Structure 1
């Protein structure tokens, strides 16, 4: 198989081919750079390329393989090209976080921990990816860099705030990316772009070496074209780092080796109530398909999910605004207008409201913990609708007219608020030509449960992530 063709395969297949020396890591980097050059004029996923770094790293891997280095042969992501949302520190690049203001900052002196860990697993970094300014949005309609377009229909959004991360995988530019998820910023692009994404348990992966948005809600995680690739990447990313005070000192727990266990005796239920009422017809059809594949599912409810979403909004506005007060005072004109207005509103929130939002979050977390004593996995829609058209101000959900940009997170925000691990997986065929995703939600630290379900349903043909040709 040629490097161009192999680039469209899952990361685990790419690594196996490099390991067997069927293709060189350097040829794969060149194929990735060529694919980006051919498609990114349409997709606009990348803001920076690290071509020189990537080619040098690939040449080192190839040389070590030729020399019979057994350690390099064992690397799980050997020769796999990848890219990261431009809020990750990459040595020699300015960490933009989707903004104009950060362009004045010096380049990063070193890679962030998660970039270092993927490199150590044999992956090869080829660039940085577009996003909503300061991760505050669900569409990646970035006025500084231009909008990232959905590879399956370039008239539509890719989702956000990690839109570049989702689009780059969907467009076949790279098989693996990193993004962040505060209120749904991995799961929304996964749903709209038709790829797999993982938001790990809050505190599982270190966030130092990335630009923060909302410290008490921020998560980092991978995108890929298969559940197996998510597991490989997640296993490589795990590990405590004391530089992030929110990172939990907990031993890594491998998930890739558990995938063959399948669904087994896992107790799975479908979230109803709020998660049904705010899902449009395509989202409900995707849920029905998953339920049918699982032999039917009991429906359960998480009470007061609407209040949990409101709490997530308030906490996000209050915490994020404090990071930008100086620039709001001195460089307000350099913010995107929508981001600026949200940050200003957050700075003016009464403290009592924020404190009450934190109480609601705690109460909601306890209700979720009670529910997860009786079931192992919860299934919910990831977005209410398929990808809206770029520039859409409104969207319709079951006859209700809602503002499009914030409402794409209707179904992800309540889960973000309490830090549960979630795998987003794409369903095709319920819409004429676009995917829509579901959330596979597990108890804290049970990413393995979510990934096992995703992998089993992928093997059964319920989930898939075909490469687009934009």
Structure 2
């Protein structure tokens, strides 16, 4: 496996796709970027998303690298090699779907299929200057995807072009149809903690788009982040406990996995109660608004050098994880990187209204193009 993708030769079609190596492709082992799975046997059948992708004419050209066991935010991987960030070489590619994003940013594929349990599509997409969609939980079939049991993880696409992302979703999900309405989407601009440069870039984009907009808050947002951490820790430990003492695990993942095993039943019950309360809070706000808008990242991601020196920053996902907990669809759009590091805007839509979310993103993408040419 190279640092970005392991080359395959499957299917035929005009559009190239890379698939994260937590997703089964028949005849190829699924190793999740981990030496602990080095002897994994070849998958016997395609994951459902792979079957669907091939059936609608896409060509799969590789399995994409990732942060080991999909349990990390930097995208670094000492065993397989770390994908370079083609657009921002000094910065991390972002995890855990680092290879899917890096391959698309490098022009090796039009679409990268990743998974998002706590921001793992949206973070690498943002770090690499791309579009990334975490669909509504359960929208795209996860059969054949690691982990088999999850209440957070979603399969979704990454693309350099929003229309490419929309076309992929429409191809693999017949229910995904962009609304024909001419009405402008009503936007709730969420008041969240983020660096000044990020706030300014988001505000500029929203102002340029001239959409009906009001300011709003989600009072449980910070608590939802903590609750999502508790859930992912328990579910990842349950899925990966067989490898917790494997000496081949990377040091960072081994530490996180051992700590995840200490998540108590009480913490999990509290997290599930918070999930229900936060989901209601988001649903109520979306009764009067079509989408929520907020930064994708609260601050600059780690530099690659800092990450390689051992620094960790799970709070980079502070604005991402809450919407895994609630199950709402969320899309990241790249902004002009005027702060010297990747900037991105996140949109969140109603559960099940992934197409409406992408329609709103189209309007904002137009505003971004106008801003970029000024």
Q: Which moved more, 1:333-342 or 1:191-200?
A: 333-342
Asked if 1:253 is matched to 2:180, the reply is no
Match of 1:405 among 267, 289, 313: 313
Q: Deviations 1:188-221 (Å, cap 9, x if unpaired)?
A: 1111111111111001111111111860101000
Alignment of 1:42-441 (within 5 A): 44-46=3-5, 48-50=6-8, 53-54=9-10, 57-58=11-12, 78-212=13-147, 215-238=150-173, 252-255=174-177, 257-258=178-179, 261=181, 264-272=183-191, 275=192, 277=193, 279-295=194-210, 297-329=213-245, 331=246, 333-392=247-306, 404-432=312-340, 434-441=341-348
Q: Would you tell me which structure has more helix in proportion to its own residues?
A: 1
Question: TM-score, length-normalised on structure 1?
Answer: 0.74
Is residue 91–residue 127 contact of structure 2 (8 Å, CA) maintained in 1?
no
CA distance in 2, matches of 1:453, 1:463: 16
CA distance in 2, matches of 1:201, 1:261: 21
Alignment CA distance shift 1:455-1:313 (3 Å)? same
Alignment CA distance shift 1:167-1:462 (3 Å)? same
Alignment CA distance shift 1:318-1:254 (3 Å)? closer
How many angstroms does 1:84 deviate by? 0.7
User: Of the two, which has the highest radius of gyration?
Assistant: 1
Is residue 282–residue 386 contact of structure 1 (8 Å, CA) maintained in 2?
no
Question: TM-score, length-normalised on structure 2?
Answer: 0.93
Unaligned 5+ segments in structure 2 are none
Is residue 33–residue 66 contact of structure 2 (8 Å, CA) maintained in 1?
yes
Is residue 73–residue 95 contact of structure 2 (8 Å, CA) maintained in 1?
yes
CA distance in 2, matches of 1:463, 1:306: 34
Is residue 427–residue 463 contact of structure 1 (8 Å, CA) maintained in 2?
no
Q: How many residues are aligned here?
A: 369
Alignment CA distance shift 1:463-1:94 (3 Å)? farther
Is residue 278–residue 326 contact of structure 2 (8 Å, CA) maintained in 1?
yes
How many angstroms does 1:463 deviate by? 8.6
Alignment CA distance shift 1:371-1:173 (3 Å)? same
How many angstroms does 1:450 deviate by? 1.3
Alignment CA distance shift 1:90-1:137 (3 Å)? same
SS in 1 for 2:326: coil
CA distance in 2, matches of 1:153, 1:221: 23
How many angstroms does 1:372 deviate by? 0.9
Q: Deviations 1:12-36 (Å, cap 9, x if unpaired)?
A: xxxxxxxxxxxxxxxxxxxxxxxxx
- What is the RMSD computed on CA atoms of the aligned residues? 2.2
Is residue 73–residue 94 contact of structure 2 (8 Å, CA) maintained in 1?
yes
How many angstroms does 1:449 deviate by? 1.7
> What's 1:7 paired with?
none
> What's 1:444 paired with?
351
